[in-house]
Structure formats: C-alpha cells, structure tokens
Chains A and B, each alone.
Chain A
C-alpha cells in the first residue's frame, strides 16, 4: 500500500502554500538554459519531469550565501550593537534532489558541534524538504559511489516517486512531511521506484588510504593543474559550508555579515601578515579533497560529499570531485602495482 498525489493536486497544494505566505522553492527555469532552485510565485514554475539537476543547491535556504549576524550604529562617540530580526517564514522545498537533501544530516554535525549555530538551526527548523527520487542520472552523477542512492532518504521530510501516470507516490518520512501532505493524498497499491542510479565507479577505501598516506604527494600538482581557482564548485556543492565574516558599513553604521567562502580562492587562507599557508593551488585542491574525504569523516564519521556532481557540472574546466577521485584511484592502483 502507498499514498499517492496527482500532479494537479500537488500543484494546487503548492499554490496553497504560496498563498499562505510560505516561501516555496523548487527547480525552475530562470532562462532557457539556466535551471536553478528558486522561490516560486506559482506552482506552474515548478519543474519535476525529466532529468532535473539545478546548477545550485538548496543549502542556500538554510545556509544563505550572505547572512547578517548583527548590526551596529555609530552614535557620536558611542557604538551600539543590535541583533537582527530572526527569520520567521516557513520554507518548503518541492522536487529537491535527494543528493541535495542528504547534505543536511552531514552539515548538522558541523553546525551543532562545539557551537550550536542559531542561524543555521533556525532556518533548518523553518524548512521542510520534499525530495523527488531520481529516475535518471548524467555522467557527472556518482551518489552510488559515496554510499548514497537515487532515493536516499537522508534530509528529506517527504519523498515523491514519479509513477509515470501523472501521479506521485508520497512517502512522508518525518512529522514535518506528514503535516505537509496530511489529507492531500489517497491510498493506492502503486509503489514508486527510483532509477538504478549510476554504476559505482570509486572505491572510497582506496581513496581514503591514499589520502591518509599522501599529504605530500607530488601528484597533487598534476591533479590541480587545470583548476582556475574559482568558487563555482564550492558554491554549487550541497555540503561545502565555509564562510567568511566581514563588517560592511559606513560612518553611520553597518553590519557584521557572514558570506560563503571557498577554499580554492587564493585569499582563502591569507594571513594578515601576508603569509599564505596555502599559497599554491595544489595545496588548495588537496585541502578540498581531504576535507571532504579524510578530515570530515575522521571527525564526524561522515563523508562531506553526496555525489551530486554539481562541482564538475559547474566547473569551467570540468574538474570537481569525481574526476579527481577517479584520478587518485588510478594513481593508487598503479602505485600499488609498482610497490608489488
């Protein structure tokens, strides 16, 4: 037995949420060739059919690209600090990719570890995530290689399965999810099924082994050579969460803001002294891979990658995690052969 919802009812539901003043986001075409998660003003903007992989991710809803932490006013010789209004609007994502949602359980560790980040938690609580199980994948997808699946439930409050007949099976996975679809679904005997997903291509243990023993490997040089040093990979990654804190204002006052930052920027680790411990882009590329597949797992037991492939898709030079891991795997193999 299963619960299903028709495309039409879903659309009505979405419009209803919007009319209730909730912020509803989902995959939509902002331009003929630009597909992004955006806030919707009407359900018909929502894209659910075909292979949908927005260039951005839904992490932005919970970890905004720029976020005001507090404000300050200059009154004569006095400086007055004030808190910002915490966000209060409920957010709903519809049709998110499971690989986007799956990032949040992983991110929860770092945002609730030694310090419980109130900004992150607030938006996390306000947000309900309805994913759509993947039927298709492209050459950049590799969720199966990082122990996820086209229908991984991590981070999802509810998951839709396209039944192909204009209906979706709805699997409510949390109370939030249940609340969202309460009374909107009918029982059915049809059970949805996700696509097979990409063939696993990466042996993570082998990779981990290489990372544990090859911090100083000259291979990092060749692995990173074509990287141009932009932040496209990090900013379109569901799990990347580095940020920079700056004050912006003028003689009247201003705010302390938290902005996304990316480890491939040459300024990322620049010290005030002018010294830069990661002055070379091979060091920066190494950091990115190590953080995702060694440092984070060692600390939190979770890989900081959902295999969504966005890094490669959005990379001007088609680099990103998958090609690097595959290269590492190759190096590791040949090296073991050599050592034999």
Chain B
C-alpha cells in the first residue's frame, strides 16, 4: 500500500502532473504523523501511511503559501475527502486542478477516534487514485450521533454547567479555527472589531460567544473530521457542538455535509415546507 502511494506520487511529480504532493510524514513510529509537502520525486520515500495519519490535509488547499507551489496532489482519507465536496460547492477549489489520492482507511488512532467508530467512508469515493483495501471496516454507522445523544441525556442546566467548565479552559489559541479546512475566511469575524461582536478576551463570556459562532458558522458545512477537537490543547470536546448542528441538519433537512456533491447546501437555500413547530 505504501509502495503504491510512493509510486503514484513519484509518477505525478516526475511527469509534471503536479508540482507538490501534500501527504503525511512521521518522525518516529507511533507518534502523530504530520503534513509534509513533497516537491521532488526522490523525496516521496518520506511519505508515510498508517493509523497515525490524523490530519485533514485539505486545510492546506486554500492557503496562499501552498497555492503558490503549483498544482497539488493531496492524500486524503474518506472522511477528509468530504471536505473537498464542501470546498468545491463554496467555490474555494477547482477540483480539476487537484489530484486526489484516496487512501483506504479502517480507522486512525489507537484506540480509534470517535469519528471512526461510525465511519461509513472507509473507502474514498471521488479520488483520482484510490489506494489499498479496507481489512475490517467495522462500524455501526447509526451511531453517528451516539455521543451527542448520550450528552443530551443531561438536563439543560447540567449541560450549561458542563460547558461553563469546559469553555473556562479555552485560551483562545484558535487552533480549532486554524486547523479547520472550512474556516477559510480572509478575516475571521472574531478578528473584526467594528463592531466587536465577540469579545476577544479568553473569558467565559468571550469564549461562549466564540464557540457558538465557530460551531454555527460550520452549520451544515462541517464534515466531522474532528480536527478542531484533536487540535484543542485544552481538551475541549468541540465535537459535541459540531454534531449538534449536523444532527439538526440531518433530521430537519436530510442533509449531510460532504456526502452528496449533487445536493444544494442547506444554508443559503430554503423550502416553503421547512418545519416551523417552534415558531408561533
């Protein structure tokens, strides 16, 4: 599998199809793999593929420094690939100008990450080249919102208490935003101060406003790669927030971000038949 990856990338670089391969490198086994940018055929050996390849590399596709390197090939897992669907819908990428190398993935992390438990895209679906086969794609896909549903067993008051405790640890390092492939705004709303909609201070007040905003700006866009959660140095479970909006989008509109390139995004469109039980 790794050889095939190396060969594919070497060819792409050799025949000039792409100028850079965005893939995973690793300093030592069983440490988290990190993004590397291979530009010379002889360096493809640096590329690795294993269950430590957590990152969603698509976040680099919209960065000017990476764009400047020329046409990219990018290594994606099935889950990361969903991001491409959204990015294209939002006209951030031109799919024809990107070579997508899809890796068969049974799960990342040991034990596997929460998202992998309910993964249904072990095999990338739209890749230009798909590498490998999934040995044991064990996953009960209906458990997609299990953690959220468990959390919602708490009373609203307890939920409030939980988040006050969690968000109190947020230092506003914005790792959640910066690592997110869909947070590509030129200037984030929290960095705009006329008016100051969100307090920039890492106080509970500022953190609430920030995390509500972050999660909601990803409404019906977040593909659930959970990079924000993984990136958070304070260990805040942002996944729950993403899930809650995703669940609303699925239950109310049967919409799941990144799954079907054909369907129109939920936000920015409407149906006269939309439910409105909560409105009087």
Contact = CB atoms under 8 A, between A and B. Distances in A.
Let me know if chains A and B touch directly in the complex, using CB atoms closer than 8 Å: yes
Interface of A: 30-31, 33-34, 36, 55-56, 65-66, 139, 221-222, 224-226, 228-232, 234-236, 244, 246, 248, 257, 259-260, 262, 265, 267, 280-282, 314, 316-319, 323
Given A34-B234, A260-B171, A314-B175, 5 more contacts: A232-B231, A246-B200, A259-B200, A265-B174, A316-B230
A259 B172 contact: yes
Given A36-B169, A316-B55, A231 B174 contact: yes
Contact of B66 (A66, A225, A267, A319): A225
Contacts of B37: 222, 225-226
A93 to B, nearest CB: 17
B35 to A, nearest CB: 4
25 contacts: A31-B235, A36-B234, A56-B233, A56-B234, A139-B31, A224-B65, A225-B65, A226-B37, A226-B60, A229-B178, A230-B173, A230-B174, A230-B177, A231-B171, A232-B231, A235-B233, A246-B200, A248-B199, A265-B174, A267-B191, A280-B65, A316-B178, A316-B230, A317-B55, A323-B27
A99 B171 CA distance: 21
Contacts of A235: 171, 173, 233
Interface of B: 27-28, 31-32, 34-37, 55, 59-60, 65-66, 169, 171-175, 177-179, 187, 191, 193, 196, 199-203, 227, 230-231, 233-235
Nearest to A248: B199
B203 A318 contact: no
A282 B171 CA distance: 24
Contacts of A323: 27
A222 B196 CA distance: 36
A259 B35 contact: no
A259 B170 CA distance: 13
Contacts of A31: 235
B65 A221 contact: yes
A230 B231 contact: yes
A98 to B, nearest CB: 21
A55 B233 contact: yes
B80 to A, nearest CB: 14
Nearest to A222: B37
A226 B36 contact: yes
A230 B170 CA distance: 13
Given A231-B173, A260-B202, A139 B235 contact: no
Contacts of B233: 55-56, 232, 235-236, 314
Contacts of A221: 65
Nearest to B179: A316
A151 to B, nearest CB: 26
Given A246-B200, A248-B196, A319 B34 contact: yes
A30 B179 contact: no
A308 to B, nearest CB: 13
Contacts of A229: 178
Contact of A139 (B28, B173, B230): B28
Contacts of B60: 226
Contacts of A36: 169, 234-235
A34 B235 contact: yes
A66 B193 CA distance: 18
Of listed B32, B199, B231, B233, residue having the most chain A CB within 10 A: B233
Contact of B59 (A228, A260, A281): A228
Contacts of A246: 193, 196, 200-201
A225 B28 CA distance: 20
B226 to A, nearest CB: 12
Contacts of B179: 228, 230, 316-317
Nearest to B64: A280
Nearest to B180: A228
Contacts of A65: 171-172, 202
B235 A248 contact: no
Nearest to A316: B231
A228 B65 CA distance: 11
A181 B65 CA distance: 55
A231 B175 contact: yes
B65 A281 contact: yes
A234 B174 CA distance: 11
A265 B175 CA distance: 10
Contacts of B234: 34, 36, 55-56
A316 B59 CA distance: 12
Contacts of B171: 56, 65, 231, 235, 260
A236 B235 CA distance: 13
Contacts of B55: 316-317
A234 B175 CA distance: 11
Given A36-B169, A259-B172, A317 B35 contact: yes
A30 B167 CA distance: 13
A246 B191 CA distance: 12
Contacts of A139: 27-28, 31
A279 to B, nearest CB: 9
A228 B187 CA distance: 15
A319 B169 CA distance: 23
